[in-house]
Amino acid sequence: MNDEIYMNEALKIAANARGRTSPNPLVGAVIVKNNRIIAEGWHRQAGTPHAEINALNMAGDLAKDSTLYVTLEPCSHFGRTPPCANAIVNAGIKKVVIAMTDPNPKVAGRGIEILKNAGIEVEVGILEDQARRLNEVFIKWITTQKPFVTLKTAMSLDGKIATATGQSQWITSEESRRKVHELRDINDAIMIGIGTVLADNPSLTTRIDGGKNPIRIIVDSQLRTPINANVIVDGQAKTIIATTKNAPINKVDALKKSGVEIIFCGDDRRVDLNILMNELASREITSIFVEGGGTLNFSLLENHLVDKVFAFIAPKIIGGREALTSVEGDGFSDLNKAINLKNITTEMIGEDILISGIVCNDN
């Protein structure tokens, strides 16, 4: 029981750095001696000391003969920082309790092996499910070389994201909009389609105290993004435009001169989203928050590229045969191919309902 209490504390403090450690995982560490916590630490940012090192530095000489609780297997290799497993051995830790092994296939188990070879007692699997949920982004990126994609929709009770005349601001409440900015803050990038750029000219920034602006990704097969669009000229964050080789070269040059990165994804008239995801992952973009329209949303779902859905539902009925819905495209003609969600959670955000869940991509 105490093991779960201490590991839960490690998971809690690891979450302090949510959205700040990419491409590294979220990790928390707690050092316990004589049934009391003597030190804590968490990984704060890539390139800075890992959670175990921060906790060991706090504990000092008291770390000898203590128990370390850590949410992820201590690293065993030199990366941006030295290996934590060796530091744990040198500190004289007696026992290490680990929530989950490192999902990186190149290093999984090696940190545990170093600890065991040094005579340290090791226990693995305490609150593993919680640890995996905490690092769902890192696990997806490190094991598949694709970003973790979260699709967000904001719609009326009858599924509309705009009126038949195109009015869309604001369907959901101020509280929901603040929640969206909190979600932007914890993602590496935000993605929209060209339709949203042309209709709304958004900035895609995070408007909360202490928030960070995600990288902005525009899916624009014909390169119709205006050269004076906010995402091009405001200088608030990096902008990437995904297009095809059919894009006009003069527009490519003009956007590049404005500081935009252009990624060519396929030779067809449509951006190949699978190629795009691979390209983004290679740039250490581990998480993407999609705020696109119905066309982009369906394309991502159709290609099984969405991992999680956040659906904000306002208690309004808009109606209208021509009013846009949150998922458009051709749709799924067979109910057996429809996208299902699991691990559903619901909560009230102001007067709105937020439904979230993990996408079952095994259809």
Per DSSP, the three-state class of 126 is coil
Relative to beta strand 121-124, strand 95-98 is parallel
Q: How much of the chain is in helix, strand and coil states, percent to nearest 5?
A: 30, 25, 45
Provide the token pair at 346: 């619901």
- Our answer to whether residue 52 is catalytic in this structure is yes
What is the residue whose two structure tokens read 């740039």? 283
Catalytic one of 52, 261, 322, 328: 52
Helices 84-91 and 51-59 cross at an angle (nearest 10°) of 20
Compute CA distances 290 → 4, 79, 280, whole Å. 35, 31, 14
Q: What is the 3-state secondary structure (H, E, C) of 204-259?
A: CCCCCCCCCCCEEEEECCCCCCCCCCHHHHCCCCCEEEEECCCCCHHHHHHHHHCC
Instruction: Report, as residue numbers or ranges, the catalytic residues.
Output: 52
